[in-house]
Structures are given as C-alpha cells and as structure tokens.
Amino acid sequence: MKSLNLNISFEQYAGIDELSDSERQLCALSEKALATSYSPYSKFRVGTAIRLATGEVVLGSNQENLAYPSGLCAERVALFSIGSTYPNAVIESMAITAQTDNFEILTPVTSCGGCLQVMAEFERKQSTPIEVIFYCLNGEILKVPSVKSLLPFAFVEDRLER
C-alpha cells in the first residue's frame, strides 16, 4: 500500500480589483450572462463567460425545466454551444458567477462534478490548459490555472479503448 498526496494550486483574490483587466472584463461578462438565466425552480442564477483564443467571448446561463433533470448548468450550456458552433475552438479561460434573490452569496460558487467532467474533456481535446475563475460579486474570487486542479481524477477516454 502506498499513500499518495495531490497538490492543487489555486489563487485567491480579495476582490475584482486584484484581477487583470481582461480577467475583470470576463467576470463582468459572466455577470451579464446571469440576465438570461432561466431558473424559476431553483431561483439560483448562474452565468459564465468563456474566452476563446480568437478573443471571442461566449456567454451561457443555467436553463431549467419543469422536468428537473432536463435542465442544464450554465457551464455546459456555454461549452456545448462552443462545441457545436466552433468545433475547433481553443478555450483560454472561463469565469463563472452566481446570484440569487433569496440570500447573499459570499463565497465563490464552484462548478458541479458534471460540468467539471465536461470542462476536463474540452481541456484534454485542445491540449492546453483552461483557466477557470470563480467570481463572487461580494466575496473572494478563486482562480485555477487548469481544470486538472479541479478534477484530477476525471474520467478519461482510454478507459473505453480496451
């Protein structure tokens, strides 16, 4: 038996002022994306802004449905939109934020496991890291240099190849 450890690197920022101009811009766009959230059931709005290597930014928001499992998270709405519109796009970075009228969110909202798995596959496909920023409007901000930091044990396709 061996006992192993993984180190995960991430950065923590006290507020948006500590970010670079382009990161601030991406966070502001993720906030803008909240406006299109369709979340009458959870009342929890999630927005994302994804910057491609071309400079283009694609927005996404969570889309719910009365048949609850049929809804989709903001991250996957935007990622699958990129996959279908720009199949060869390279993603540089993404910012994610959330809001609800029910309470004040004071810590960054991090992505669910299903979204992390999809983010991991986009990263693997393009072979360059995707930077992820979890932007909290009234609290600290987290930044990871790669999806690998968030899901080091992602399911990978070579498991299907035997």
Binding site for ligand THU (CB under 6 A): 39, 42, 44, 46, 62, 64, 71, 73-75, 111-112, 115
Q: How far is the CB of 63 from ligand THU (least distance, A)?
A: 7
- Catalytic residue flag (residue 140): no
Active-site hit among 31, 64, 75, 123: 75
Name the residue nearer to ligand THU (CB basis): 99 or 146.
99
Name the residue nearer to ligand THU (CB basis): 75 or 92.
75
- Residue 61 β-bridge partners: 47
CB atoms within 10 A of CB 2: 3
HEC sequence for 36-82? HCECCCCCEEEEEEEEECCCCEEEEECECCCCHHHCECHHHHHHHHH
Name the residue nearer to ligand THU (CB basis): 28 or 116.
116
Residues 45 and 97: their CA atoms lie apart, in Å, by: 8
Q: How far is the CB of 73 from ligand THU (least distance, A)?
A: 3
Q: How far is the CB of 61 from ligand THU (least distance, A)?
A: 7
Helix (H, G, I), strand (E, B) or coil at 99: strand
Helix H or strand E encompassing 8: none
Active-site residues, by number, are 75
